[in-house]
Amino acid sequence: MKRLLLSGIVLMIYVLVVVTTQVFSTNTGRIKGKVINAKTKDPVAFAVIQIMGTTMGAQADQNGEYLLINVPPGKYELCATLTGWTKVCVQELTVSANATTAQDFALNEAVIETDVAIVVADRELSAQNETAHIRQIKPADIKNMPVATVADLLKAQVGVVERFGQIHIRSGRSNEVTYVVDGVECKDPIGGNGASDQAMRLSPNVIENLQIAGGFAAEYGNAASGIVPPAHGGNTPPNGEPVDAMFFKNYGTNPFISTDDDHLSTFAIDCDNASFTMTRAYLNDGNLPPEEAVRVEEFINNFKYNYNHPSDRAFDVEMEGAPSRFGKGYQLLKIGVVGKKIRTENRKDANLTFVVDVSGSMAREDRLGLVRRSLRMLLDQLTPRDYVGIVVYGSTARIVLEPTSIRDKNKIIRAIEELASNGATNAEEGIRMGYEMANRNFNPNSINRIILCSDGVANVGRTSAEEFMKFIKGYADKGITLSAIGFGMGNYNDILMEKLGDKGNGHYAYVDSWEESQRVFMENLTGMLQVIARDVKIQVDFDPNVVERYRLLGYENRDVADDKFRDDKEDGGEIGSGHTVTALYEIKFKDGARGDVGTVFIRHKNPDSFEVSEIAVKISPSVFKTSFELSSVDFRLAAAGAEFAEILRASFWAKDS
C-alpha cells in the first residue's frame, strides 16, 4: 500500500509539535547529559549528579544518561561523582526557564585493573588524606565460588569478618558499610545496617561483578568502612529477565481480515495513554522508543476530541469516515465511544489507598520526588468525606498511615513528605498489603480505589504479571479497583504496570513530567476514580456485501474472541466518568457497494448493580466524507497520530512511510 503523502507528513509534524510543547510549558528548567569514561568514551553507569548547595540531584542510568527536572532558573555548580572515579564539577552552569541545559561529564577511573582476579589500587582522599583500597572480584570467580548470598561472598574476602551475624569490613562496624543494588544504597529498614542477609542472594544470571571498597571518608554516603555494590541484587529478576532495562511486550500488529473469513471484530476497550506519554519522554530525550513500547490505540486515545457526552445513559457512539490519506483506495473509520459525565459534587465518597514503591530504584526526583508532589496535589482535589491510607514497599511492605479523613489533611501530608527510598522491590507484598487495607475499610457505597505509584520493577517475591493477577481478580470483582501510575525512565516495567491497571479494573497511566501529573491527578479526578461501566466490550459487525476487508489499528492486547462478546464472565475494560474511547479502522469497500457498512455493538455492566446492558448503532454510509480534507480536525488528528505510531512501531502496513 502506498502511504504518507506530503500533507500527511505535515500532520505528523503537527503532532510532534503538540507533543513537545506540552512538556515545556513550565517556568522551571531541566539539565540533561551523559557521563562517560574520559579515556574509552564508554558510558559510566550510576554516577551521582548533584547541584551543590541544594538537595537537587539525579543518578545516571545504565547508559550513563541523567536528567534533572524542575530546576529553578539560575547559575549553579554541578558535580558528578562515583566511587572509584574522580569527581568532576562545572561552575556557573546556567539554567533558563522552559529550556533544557545540556551538560556532559567525562570521568577518569581511580581504579587500575590488571590481569589478576583481585585488584588493589590507591587513591588520595582529599578530605582526610586517607587511602582507600578497592578489591574487585570478577564474575567468573563469583560463579565458581561455593557461595549463595552476598554475605557468604563477603566473608570469603580478606579483611572481612562476621561478628554476631553482621558484616565488618577492615575492622569497621556494620553500620559503616554501605550496600548498593542497581546503583542505589540499600539498608536494613529496621536496624539501619547494610542489607547483606539471606534476602540479598547471588545469581549467575544477574551478578556482573562485586567491589569491596574500604577506607575512612569513602565517597559514598556514610560508608566509613566499606562499599559493596553488586551489579544487581534480589532473588528474581522481573519477567525472568535482568533488571537493568525497560520492559515491554510485543503484541504483534493486526492484519487485514477478509469479511468472507470473519466479519466480526471484537475487543475490550479502555482509555489508557501510557504508551503515548512514554514515547514522548523518549523523544524529548532525543531517542526513539523501542518498537514494542508503541501501542497505537494509546496514541489515538491521548487526544481530546469534540464529543458530546450523554446525560441519560452510559454511552453514546459517534462515528466519522473519510478516504485514508495513508492508504490509497482505503477508507478510515473513526468510532468514538463517549461516556457520561458525573459532576464533581455528585461523585461518590472515596476510600483511597496509596501504595507507593519506595525501593532504591525510586530514589530520584523524577520518581519518588514526583510521586510525593503528585499525591499532595491529589489531596487538594478531595473532600472532607474522603479517606486516605498509605502502604509502602521496598524489601518489605509496611503501613505508613491507616485510613485517615481528609479533615486531618496535614497528617496525611506529613506521611507523604516522610516517604524515603531504600531496599529491594517486593511489589507483591506491597500490593497485597494495600488490598488488605482497602478490604478492611471497604464500603460498598463508596469508591474503593488503590493508587499504585511505581516504576513497576519487582525483584523480590513473585515478580511476573500473571502471578499478581491471581489475587487481584477477587478484589476487583468485589469492587476494589486499582490505578497503576508509572514513574521513571530506565529500569521500568511497562508489562507489569499495564496488566495491573487492566486486571485491577482501573486504568494505567505513565507520568513523565509535572504537567502530565496534573493531567492524571487533577484535571479529571472524578473520571479517574468513579467508574461508570465495567467489563466494556465492543463488537463491530461489518456487512460482507459492503466491506471487502478491514483492519483495526491497535488494541492487539485487548482482543476478545467473537463468541465471548456476550459471555458476561469474559473480562472487559473499565470506563470512568466523562471518559471517551476511540478506535480507528482501515476498511476497503467492495466495488459498487451500497447500504449500511455494519453495526457497532457495545456491551457493559452497571458498576453498582452489575446489570448487563447492550446498545447497537448502525454505521451509515452518510458518516463518510468524500475526501480527507473535508473531514473534521478531530478525524485528521486521530489519523495522523495513528500513522505516527504505526511508523514508530515499524508496522508492515506503514513500511512505505
CATH numbers and ranges of domains, the chain = 6-107 (2.60.40.1120), 124-234 (2.170.130.10), 257-342+532-654 (2.60.40.1230), 344-529 (3.40.50.410)
Bridge partners of residue 33, in order along the sequence: 66
Integer CA distances (angstroms), 178 to 184, 220, 368, 458, 636, in order: 10, 8, 21, 22, 56
CA 4 centroid distance within chain: 31
Question: pLDDT at residue 577 above 60?
Answer: yes
In this prediction, residue 470 has a pLDDT band, given cuts at 50, 70 and 90, of confident
Region class of 73: left (phi > 0), else alpha (psi between -120 and 50), else beta: beta
| Distance, CA of 349 to CA of 357 (rounded, Å) | 26
The DSSP code for 43 is B
Q: What whole-number percentage of the chain has pLDDT above 70?
A: 73
Contacts (Cβ under 8 Å, ≥6 apart) of 351: 386, 387, 389, 403, 438, 441, 442, 443, 446, 447, 448, 449
Bridge partners of residue 66, in order along the sequence: 33
Q: What pLDDT sits at residue 139? A: 52
Strand order in the sheet with 547-552: 257-258, 547-552, 580-589, 331-339, 315-323
Q: What pLDDT sits at residue 1? A: 43
Q: What whole-number percentage of the chain has pLDDT above 90?
A: 42
| Distance, CA of 252 to CA of 354 (rounded, Å) | 34
Mean of pLDDT over the chain: 80
363 C-beta neighbours (distance < 10 Å), count? 21
Q: What pLDDT sits at residue 605? A: 93
Strands 184-186 and 177-181 come out as antiparallel
| Distance, CA of 22 to CA of 26 (rounded, Å) | 9
- List, for residues 108-152, the tens digit of each pLDDT value: 876 433 333 333 333 333 333 333 344 445 555 555 555 556 666
| Distance, CA of 240 to CA of 464 (rounded, Å) | 8
Question: pLDDT at residue 216 above 80?
Answer: no
| Residue bearing the bigger pLDDT, 355 or 14 | 355
Across the range 257-267, mean pLDDT stands at 95
Q: What pLDDT sits at residue 253? A: 92
Q: How many CA within 13 A on the CB side of residue 612? A: 12
CA 248 centroid distance within chain: 10
Across the range 498-523, mean pLDDT stands at 88
| Residue bearing the bigger pLDDT, 115 or 492 | 492
Contacts (Cβ under 8 Å, ≥6 apart) of 400: 390, 391, 392, 415, 418, 419
In this prediction, residue 460 has a pLDDT band, given cuts at 50, 70 and 90, of low
Contact indicator for 549, 588 with CB cutoff of 8 Å: yes
Contacts (Cβ under 8 Å, ≥6 apart) of 573: 268, 269, 270, 502, 535, 536, 537, 558, 581
Question: pLDDT at residue 316 above 70?
Answer: yes
| Distance, CA of 155 to CA of 281 (rounded, Å) | 44
Q: Which of 247, 254, 63 is nearest to 645 (CA)?
A: 254
Q: What pLDDT sits at residue 35? A: 92
Query: For the chain, percent helix, then strand, then coil, each to nearest 5?
Result: 25, 30, 40
Q: Which of 142-151, 443-452, 493-502 is modeled with the greatest confidence? A: 443-452
- Cell numbers at residue 463, please? 515478580
| Distance, CA of 601 to CA of 540 (rounded, Å) | 6
Contact indicator for 596, 546 with CB cutoff of 8 Å: yes
**What pTM did the predictor assign?**
0.65
Q: Which of 275-279, 373-377, 454-458, 560-564 has the lowest mean pLDDT?
A: 454-458
| Residue bearing the bigger pLDDT, 617 or 156 | 617
In this prediction, residue 282 has a pLDDT band, given cuts at 50, 70 and 90, of confident
Query: Could you write out the DSSP letters of every residue in 253-294?
Result: -PPPEETTT--EEEEE-----HHHHHHHHHHHTT-PPPGGG-
Q: What pLDDT sits at residue 142? A: 55
Q: Which of 512, 501, 358, 476 is nearest to 423 (CA)?
A: 358
The residue written with cell numbers 590488571 in the block is: 114
Query: Considering all CA atoms of the chain, what is the largest pairwise distance in Å, rounded to the nearest integer?
Result: 89
In this prediction, residue 606 has a pLDDT band, given cuts at 50, 70 and 90, of very high
| Distance, CA of 403 to CA of 139 (rounded, Å) | 47
Q: What pLDDT sits at residue 213? A: 46
98 C-beta neighbours (distance < 10 Å), count? 14
Contact indicator for 459, 233 with CB cutoff of 8 Å: yes
Bridge partners of residue 102, in order along the sequence: 32
Question: pLDDT at residue 17 above 50?
Answer: no
Q: Which of 49-53, 131-135, 607-611 is modeled with the greatest confidence? A: 607-611
Q: What pLDDT sits at residue 657? A: 81
Integer CA distances (angstroms), 270 to 25, 298, 432, in order: 28, 9, 24
Q: Strand locations in 164-270, DSSP E? A: 166-169, 177-181, 184-186, 210-214, 226-228, 257-258, 264-268
**Cα 144–145–148 angle (5° rounding)?**
115
Integer CA distances (angstroms), 560 to 240, 243, 565, 628, 651, in order: 27, 32, 7, 31, 22
| Distance, CA of 454 to CA of 412 (rounded, Å) | 19
Q: What pLDDT sits at residue 440? A: 95
Question: pLDDT at residue 519 above 60?
Answer: yes
| Residue bearing the bigger pLDDT, 134 or 535 | 535
Q: What pLDDT sits at residue 354? A: 97
Specify the 3-state DSSP secondary structure of 351: strand
Across the range 462-489, mean pLDDT stands at 82
Separation of first and last alpha carbons in the chain = 10
Q: What pLDDT sits at residue 243? A: 35
Question: pLDDT at residue 546 above 70?
Answer: yes
| Distance, CA of 127 to CA of 148 (rounded, Å) | 37
| Residue bearing the bigger pLDDT, 240 or 510 | 510
Q: What pLDDT sits at residue 109? A: 78
**Cα 272–275–281 angle (5° rounding)?**
130
Taken in order 527, 403, 495, 608, the sign of the CA dihedral is negative
Helix (H) or strand (E) holding 474: helix 465-478
Helix (H) or strand (E) holding 541: strand 531-542
Residues comprising the chain, all counted: 657
| Residue bearing the bigger pLDDT, 50 or 402 | 402
Specify the 3-state DSSP secondary structure of 372: helix
Across the range 498-504, mean pLDDT stands at 89
